[in-house]
Amino acid sequence: MSTLFNLSGKKAIITGSSRGIGKATAIRLAEHGAKVVITSRKIDACEEVASEINSTYGSDTAIALACNISDKEQLAKLHKDSVAWCGEIDILVCNAAINPYFGPSLNIPDSAFEKIMRSNVQSNFWLTNMVIPSMIKSKDGSIIIISSIAGLHGSSLLGAYAISKAADSQLARNISVEHGPNGVRANCISPGLIKTDFARALWENESILKSQTNKSALKRIGMPDEIAGAVVFLASQAGSFTTGQNIVIDGGEGETA
């Protein structure tokens, strides 16, 4: 394995890693040598992924821990239990997110807006602040937040979600500036339409799928593994001079007329 992408000895937490982009990311990080913490709200789903990884890459490669990201105490326990299992965290992938409301922002209930911001932004703020002190101490660390192209332009149907994803990219920039002198890197990845359960309402709708793919250069939907590869880059030595960036992976959606 090229030393540029070798993650041997690294320890990673990947939120929302029981399926989709998070699962693909956990598998690829493990493939490149990292120990990985699989976490989402449902422990059974996490255990399935951890078992799959352990059977492929070694019995002590992955652990399953349940956590509701909107609960600060649960996040603190996730961090504590992760460190107890593998040691201080070198790689944090904030992938988990929610979108309980689809429609015009004028009609969104306050409770839905608050839930989106708490789960998609504040939870990432909390968890990054939990892992950063040890990264500062070791003068090394990579934080990767999975944002969305929804955060790059206005949306008539995903307003609150788009606002939360724009905030995530700013969180990464702030971390990169504050903690870069201590060797901590922070970046965002903004995927386009990816074939995940989270985006099922979009790609199962033939008109939306056609509209999205027609305006992209590659004319197709993306797959979770195509995001996971970028995470490996940002987590590894290959990405050691990359920080404060928002990497757009959307099949060239902005490249067509």
Check if 101 is active-site.
Answer: no
Q: Which of 62, 161, 164, 188 is catalytic?
A: 161
Number of Cβ atoms within 10 Å of the Cβ of 76: 14
Q: Cite the DSSP H helix spans in 87-158.
A: 110-117, 123-138
Strand order in the sheet with 62-66: 62-66, 35-40, 11-15, 91-94, 141-146, 184-191, 246-249
From the CA atom positions of the chain, what is the Rg in Å? 17
Contact 19, 44 (CB under 8 A): no
Angle at 29 between CA 26 and CA 35, to 5 degrees: 85
User: Which contiguous run of DSSP H or E holds residue 55?
Assistant: helix 43-57
Annotated catalytic sites, by residue?
A: 161
